[in-house]
Structure 1
């Protein structure tokens, strides 16, 4: 490489995109196009960056496989930043294999981190953890070590391991300081804030209070029977029962959990579970059926006893019953939680992350747009959605992972 290309690459590595552009802005050879593309990505012009990187990849000759692979990795990072979760993962995997085979271990590891971050976004934590366990960050430069620790912290927060997350973020902060890249330091700081902002609400005997992520972790380890409205399950220290695929049963369980130790009138349960204004005989018959199904589903955790006016939850081992809910609850809250990260999302990416159909997500977005809670820009397949973040609350850490199909 000539001196200008080397200097531009060094400027980009130091987080100085304008310095890089000063050296290669007027050049159209493949290395210069690649560096211009990365610089434009750092400056936030992702569309222009993608175009430049594709031109660079076409410009490299057949013997420049490593350079082409680096372009693929850079384009994958742009796709991740723009929440284009449908980009071909196999292309990134092939690029990573090429870099690994040619000894470019740093960029190969970066490609692997991009794969893991994508897995985190779509809720595939088991796969993300397995991939992360295969990486050793010790030989890598500070910027790559910071990226590694950010991914470790991201997995730990979603697994409710706050001490592990804090330790990883401390290492990330140190590595970012050594890297001297302001944008990287800002990313670490932003991730650290998640540990100090409310992640959920605790509802207990009619009272509510906000919980930090470490409080949620402590609650999961307590002896209480927890009706988890974030992940749609019921748990105690010995067992977990998921009701994610049974919304009526979960609605009944939550109502009983919020009222405990009191009972809930039958009319109230009918209104919550079936949206019926009046509990006629058909509603009461259906309620008896659904309560019977709930008894069967959670029989190892609690019983559901009939009272003169309704039903009451009777825990088998726990001494108390609490409900864990999101900090802010409203219709289409899961869609808003993803959009609250401040990035622009396509409806297809949201559907993939939520494990829902694209049409369902599009209907939700249209309803949110009608009330000015989200806004869109672009047309057709280029249309993106975003909203300002909800101040003072975490977003997707406690959302349920997408359910497996079939």
Structure 2
């Protein structure tokens, strides 16, 4: 490898893409194309970066398997940053295996970290944890340790283990300081804000207030009977009752939780559960049926008692009943939460991350665009959607996944 290629690679490793381009911008050989692609990615021109990396992978000969694998890893990172979640994950696994077989542990570790980040985006938390567990970050350079600790923090946040998340972020901060790369330092600072940003709202006895992530963790371990509107479950001292597929039952449970220790009129329950403006006899009959179903679901945690004007909740062991709600609630809030990370998303990537159909996501994006809350750019398959980070909306790091007890 010639001196210009070596100098450009060192500049990229130090976070200096312009310095790298000064050395290889006019060259068209395979190593120079790869370095130019990485430099363009660091500068934010992801389209050009992707094209250069593809050209570099084709230009490397059949005996240069490691170089081609490195190009695949770099292309995977570009796809992740540009939220191209349909990019073939198997190609990244194959590249990682090649790098491990040839002793390139640093780039192999980077490939594993990329896989973990993708799994976190699409909500496959258990698999992300298993993938990360086999990697020992101790011998890795500082920049790689930053990526590792950020992944650890991302998993801990989703597990609602704030102490572990804070410890991982502290280690990431120290590693970023050692690496002395401004972009890494900024990334750690941005991730650390997650612990200082309201993660949910507590609604109790007619009042509400924001909760930090550690306060949410404390609440869920306190034995309080919680109507969790983030995950649509009811939890307390006993089994966790999931009502994620029973929206009417959860609407009733939430209304009763918000009114506790008082009762809720039947007319209000009809409006909340069935979205009916006026309750007729058919609505009252249906309400009786649904309340009966709710009694059955909550029998281990609470009783649903009839009163003269409606129904009230009587917890069996808990001394308090509260509702845990998302920081902000509006139509298509989940789509806005993903876009709140500031990255540009395709509708297909959002559909994968949300577990929804592309048509449903596209309708939501069109409605949000009409309301001026999101903005598209590009055409056809290159179209992306963006919005400015919105106060009160969780980033993707806070989107609710299933807890171990769920």
Mark yes or no: TM-score above 0.5: yes
Q: Structure 1 351/140 Cα, relative in aligned 2: closer, same or farther at 3 Å? A: same
* SS of aligned partner of 1:336: helix
Q: Which residue of 2 aligns with 1:81?
A: 81
Aligned length: 403
Distance of 1:402 and 1:342 partners within structure 2: 24
What's the C-alpha RMSD, in Å, of the aligned pairs?
A: 1.2
Listed as ranges, the gaps of 5+ residues in structure 2 are: none
Residue deviations 1:295-354 (CA, integer Å, cap 9, x gap)? 112221112111111111111111110000111111111110000000011111111111
The 5 A counterparts of 1:47-196 are: 47-196=47-196
Do residues 200 (structure 1) and 205 (structure 2) align? no
Q: Which residue of 2 aligns with 1:272?
A: 272
Q: Deviation at 1:139? A: 0.8
Q: Structure 1 316/396 Cα, relative in aligned 2: closer, same or farther at 3 Å? A: farther
Q: Deviation at 1:392? A: 5.8
Distance of 1:396 and 1:265 partners within structure 2: 37
Distance of 1:373 and 1:381 partners within structure 2: 21
Q: Which residue of 1 aligns with 2:240?
A: 240
The 5 A counterparts of 1:292-311 are: 292-311=292-311
Q: Which residue of 1 aligns with 2:383?
A: 383
Q: Which residue of 2 aligns with 1:259?
A: 259
| Contact 2:340–2:388 (CA under 8 A) maintained in structure 1 | yes
Moved over 3 A (4+): 400-403
Listed as ranges, the gaps of 5+ residues in structure 1 are: none
Distance of 2:104 and 2:291 partners within structure 1: 60
Q: Which deviates more from structure 2 when the two are superposed, residues 111-120 or residues 382-391? A: 382-391
Distance of 1:89 and 1:295 partners within structure 2: 45
Q: Deviation at 1:119? A: 0.6
Distance of 1:129 and 1:265 partners within structure 2: 46
Distance of 1:300 and 1:226 partners within structure 2: 14
| Contact 1:226–1:235 (CA under 8 A) maintained in structure 2 | yes
Q: Which deviates more from structure 2 when the two are superposed, residues 355-364 or residues 19-28? A: 355-364
| Contact 1:353–1:402 (CA under 8 A) maintained in structure 2 | no
The 5 A counterparts of 1:301-340 are: 301-340=301-340
The 5 A counterparts of 1:353-372 are: 353-372=353-372
Q: Structure 1 315/191 Cα, relative in aligned 2: closer, same or farther at 3 Å? A: same
| Contact 2:17–2:39 (CA under 8 A) maintained in structure 1 | yes
Distance of 2:321 and 2:392 partners within structure 1: 27
